[in-house]
Structure 1
Amino acid sequence: MAIEKLPVKKLVEFRRLSKPRKVTFTNKLKVGRKPASAGDGGNYWVRSLSAISKAFKENDNSIIIDKIEEVSDLYNLNQRSQTKRMYKRNIDILSKYKDFDFTQLRPTADLKFLSKPNSILEMGGLPVQILPQHIFSYGAENNQSIGGIWFIVWQDGFKPSDLGIYSETLFRYLSSYYSKDYIINPAACIIVDVTSLESISYKDVLNGEIPSILDDTMKSVKEYL
């Protein structure tokens, strides 16, 4: 029984499970079983992720401040404790970015943002779902580089090796769709854990600062299917 899609976050989650739980986990990924999640928590984090993503694109922190005010109003109006907790967690993340210097995540000030191709990429015999917020090009017209940025969040927290998995899938995604027309810059394949503010690029994996574990992880998943 095939898998329709395998979000990158599922690869990260899989690595933390015991063998019995891996069996249950992979069974739920199969077609006809419980569908896989959208990848990074669905709508739970959408308020913080969307605002951070937009602030990066526009290089404008006022977007963060406006979103904090909007979500704070929702928090104050809502009486349901679970919903208030969701708003509070989004506010906590957004507050870290009020004065954040987004230029440190941009390879250059002048970026051209591109449309994103199909999010499902066949990789290691698995349909991996890759969902960066932005893909961008930059540089001289006849020598353009391309990169992407992916803001992610997980309540359990990411390890550096987890971020490495994300960065490697992003690099392969860009290589698959853009290598004929652009230079794929590993340093511009950027992953940001918005909770910790930690950011890494695929260059960190290539340099050995972060282990490359994507292929081993996908191989292990296939052994349980």
Structure 2
Amino acid sequence: MKKISVKNIVTFRNKTEKSQKTFLNSLGKRNEASLDGGGDYWVRSLSALSNAVKAKNTEPIKEKITDILNDFKPGMIKQTKDMYERNLSILHNYEDFNVSSWLPEDARILSKNSKKAIIDISNLPVQITPSQVYSFEEKENNYVGAIWFLAKLEGFKKEELGIFAEALHIYMVANFGNNHHVSAKNCLIVDVLNKVEINYQMIVDEEIPSLLFATLESIKSTR
């Protein structure tokens, strides 16, 4: 296995025992432009939200709404029309949102370009792709945090979002832990369709169960 995305870890967990092996064998052959949380299907809304965090205002969201509306064409096939409308729905949810509320006051956006997106976790290569990473100071200490926007047509359960939060915290420690403290409460996961937010501190406090490592062990035993 070259890599497995966190989305596919969650998908594996939701499969029946009989279909889990078939699912693992199919990885790498699947079309990621799907309704189940990743790929190009949601890129218009997720990228706009990411850009809004970087800009610390909603202008990228409003611009993307205009762009999508301009892309509507007469005779557009239903599948494409549905995709545009679903992305618009997400953007409308946040067009008047205070995006700065997702960030500490002095947050500085950091580049992810030179960082590892594939992290070895329990001897499996897990792909972790946060939307934005940032640094900030608290009590004279240097911290890092991150935000990861997710979309899935039927939404995510909180414990599924917790798997993303666990993976995000591991990514942050691996890539930034040498020079910064990693803020558990600022490892934030946002389900943008349901407007549900959870963070890694909720795993630490056992408000949400820790499921990542048990699921990875199940993947290894199923392969």
- TM-score, normalised relative to structure 2: 0.92
Matched, 1:69 2:69: no
* Per-residue deviation, residues 148-195 of structure 1 (Å, max 9, x unmatched): 110011113200001100011010111112212101110110100010
8 Å CA contact 1:170–1:189 kept in 2: the answer is yes
Structure 1 residue 76 displacement after superposition: 4.1
1:54 counterpart = 2:51: yes
Amino acid at match of 1:61: T
Any idea what SS the aligned residue of 1:192 has?
strand
Residue 146 of structure 1 aligns with an amino acid whose one-letter code is V
Q: 1:114 aligns with which of 107, 110, 115?
A: 110
* 2:172 alignment partner, SS class: helix
Shift of 1:37: 3.9
Residue identity opposite 2:87 in structure 1: N
Q: What is the number of residues matched between the two proteins?
A: 219
Give 2:2's match in structure 1, choosing from 1, 4, 10.
Answer: 4
- Displacement of 1:81 in angstroms is 1.4
The Cα RMSD (Å) is: 1.9
- Corresponding letter in the other structure for 2:105: A
| 1:43 matched residue in structure 2 | 40
What is the distance in 1 between the residues matched to 2:139 and 2:207? 32
| Partners of 1:78 and 1:84 within 8 A in 2 | no
2:173 paired with 1:180: no
For residues 32 and 116 of structure 2, the distance between their equivalents in structure 1, rounded to whole angstroms, comes to 17
Query: Is the 1:7–1:37 contact (alpha carbons within 8 Å) kept by the matching residues of 2?
Result: no
Runs of 4+ with deviation above 3 angstroms: 35-40
Structure 1 pair 140–37 and aligned structure 2 pair: CA distance change class (3 A): same
Q: Residue deviations 1:85-125, cap 9 Å, x none? A: 1101100111100111212211x222222121121000011
State which of 136, 145, 148 in structure 1 corresponds to 2:146: 148
The residue type equivalent to 1:128 in the other structure is: V
Q: Aligned runs of 1:64-143 on 2, under 5 Å?
A: 64-77=61-74, 79-106=76-103, 108-116=104-112, 117-139=115-137, 143=141
Partner secondary structure for residue 139 of structure 1: strand
Instruction: Give structure 2 stretches of 5+ with no counterpart.
Output: none
Distance in 1 between the 2:70 and 2:111 partners?
33
Q: Please, which of 29, 32, 40 is the counterpart of residue 34 of structure 1?
A: 29
CA distance in 2, matches of 1:131, 1:100: 23
Aligned to 2:14: 16
